[in-house]
């Protein structure tokens, strides 16, 4: 897959994950009626957002480690009562999509791979 496509998949999945986490903890299935402080869990996702939007390879690399926290939460919370269990499953799925896209983007844009790529017209 082309780096531009991988970047687009990573951006969409990260924005979807941010939206899901906010909606989940504020409206859809908050831990307490009226919302909870758990909405703050989106703040760590905001840190890599601008680097991901800019295509910063280093941000793609370290954000794969950050996203594993959200995958873990999603897997653990699949035992919640409905609709929380479905939201947890969606969080886990979006985390996996982001992880794969970010990892493949970082791999595809490695300086060693770019140096080996055939030059157009050569």
Burial code (b: 16+ CB inside 10 Å, e: under 16) for 40-56 equals ebbeebeebbebbeeee
Give per-residue pLDDT as tens, 38-87. 899 999 999 999 999 999 999 999 999 999 999 999 999 999 999 999 99
Residue 113 has pLDDT above 90, yes or no: no
Q: Is the peptide bond before 83 cis (omega within 30 degrees of 0)?
A: yes
Q: Where along the chain do its domains lie?
A: 3-111
User: What is the structure's pLDDT at 80?
Assistant: 93
Q: Give me 45's structure tokens.
A: 């996702």
């Amino acid at each position: 897959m082309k780096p531009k496509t991988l970047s687009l998949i990573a951006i969409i999945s990260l924005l979807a994950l941010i939206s899901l986490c906010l909606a989940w903890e504020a409206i859809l299935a908050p831990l307490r009626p009226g919302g909870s402080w758990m909405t703050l869990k989106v703040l760590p996702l905001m840190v890599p957002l601008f680097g991901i939007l800019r295509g910063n390879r280093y941000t793609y690399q370290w954000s794969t480690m950050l996203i594993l926290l959200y995958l873990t939460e999603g897997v653990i919370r699949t035992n919640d009562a409905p609709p929380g269990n479905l939201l947890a499953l969606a969080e886990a799925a979006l985390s996996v999509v982001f992880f794969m896209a970010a990892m493949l983007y970082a791999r595809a844009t490695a300086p060693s791979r770019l140096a080996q790529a055939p030059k157009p017209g050569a």
